Structure 1
Amino acid sequence: MILTPLTLLVVGIAAGYDYMTRRIPNFLTFPAIILGLGLNAYYYGFPGLGNGALGMLLGIALLLIPFFIGGMGAGDVKLLAAVGAINGTAFVLTTFIYSALIGGIMSIIAIILKRQFKATMSNMFLFMVPGAKMSQPKTGIPYGIAIFLGTILSFYTGVIW
């Protein structure tokens, strides 16, 4: 089946781009979404297309709030949408959970290494106060790597839902 190698190729390239440039390019994510939907329709007919479309929408929905509050970029959202379009709803949910856990660990490591613990804790409390000014610690991580590792874990462990 081509869906697994396609997924690993897309998330692997995206992780590399994200690591090098802190961006995940549209020329990677949009064709992956279209190809994923098309292959699902080809292999599984209308039900496959539906599962791919719902997986894409779920991938978007899961990262929409973090995107809107500035916690991640649009490329991360589109990458998870591509994973959903290729593999469907159950797989993208599993990948999201693993990616969130890995991303959390990566964030903690970045906070420690960049000595941003105090600013991060302050921002966590100020986030709940309407109109409060938060500092801008430089602890961003290339979340495409977390999605890549979460995808690998999803394939390795199987869908947990």
Structure 2
Amino acid sequence: MKYNPFIESGSEREGDMKNIFLAALLGAATAADFKRGKIPNKLIIFGYLTGLMIRITEGGPAGLALGILEGLLTLAAFYIFYLTGAVGAGDVKLLSVIGLFSGIVFAVRTAFYSLLAAGVVAAIYLLKSGEAAARFQEFFSHIGICISQKKLIRYRTSGDKGNLHYALYISIGFLVALALGKEFR
């Protein structure tokens, strides 16, 4: 069978198995993020190696090359979020595993839905805590400093209470993208 990058896999069952594996990997990443405050590199490497094996099994050398390219493009596309301090390095690497497995388009959809989920939770938190005005003022002040200094500065709020555990939102984004994905192809 000739490799087609627009088809998830050779059969519906293979696509389901790939998604089950990704869901399990995301679950493990989320648990580790809550327990340790970061996603272990061993888990990311396991995801990369498994994704590479799947890509070469499904598409041969062309599938492997495309998988590597899509994983790297995903990594590059979301690296800016790490540089700004919006997410941790493990979160960006986790998104690149999704890009390797399912392609950059699916990874972007996952990131979009994860951003929406995190945004809703953050908005609820800010409204309930009464911190919305102060946080927005601090955020726009930070943007002004970046513009005046003509460089990107990692963003941290004065009231940071720890990690956001963004792996949870990536997992939510993955499930939403999976549920809605077939309608957007």
1:33 and 1:85 in contact (8 A); partners too: yes
What letter matches 2:81 in structure 1? P
Structure 2 unmatched runs, 5+: 1-13
1:136 lines up with 2:151 in the alignment: no
Secondary structure in structure 2 of the residue aligned to 1:141:
coil
Identity %: 26
Larger displacement relative to structure 2 (33-42 or 74-83): 33-42
Task: Give TM-score, length-normalised by structure 1.
Answer: 0.87
Alignment correspondent of 2:11: none
> For structure 1, which runs of at least 5 residues remain unmatched after alignment?
none
**What are the Cα deviations for residues 9-60 of structure 1, in whole angstroms up to 9, with x where unaligned?**
1111111222233211111111101210221111111232233223212321
Higher-Rg structure is 2
Tell me the distance in 1 between the aligned counterparts of 2:77 and 2:128. 28
1:20 to 35, 56, 76: 35
1:146 paired residue number = 169
Alignment CA distance shift 1:30-1:119 (3 Å): farther
The root-mean-square deviation of aligned C-alpha atoms, in Å, is 2.3
For residues 109 and 37 of structure 1, what CA distance do their matches in structure 2 show?
39
The match for 2:9 is none
**Structure 1 residues 134 and 91 mapped into 2: Cα distance closer, same or farther (>3 Å)?**
closer
Deviates more, 1:8-17 or 1:129-138: 129-138
Give the TM-score normalised by structure 2. Answer: 0.76
Give the Å deviation of 1:92.
Answer: 1.0
Which residue type is aligned with residue 69 of structure 1?
T
Aligned equivalent of 2:74? 59
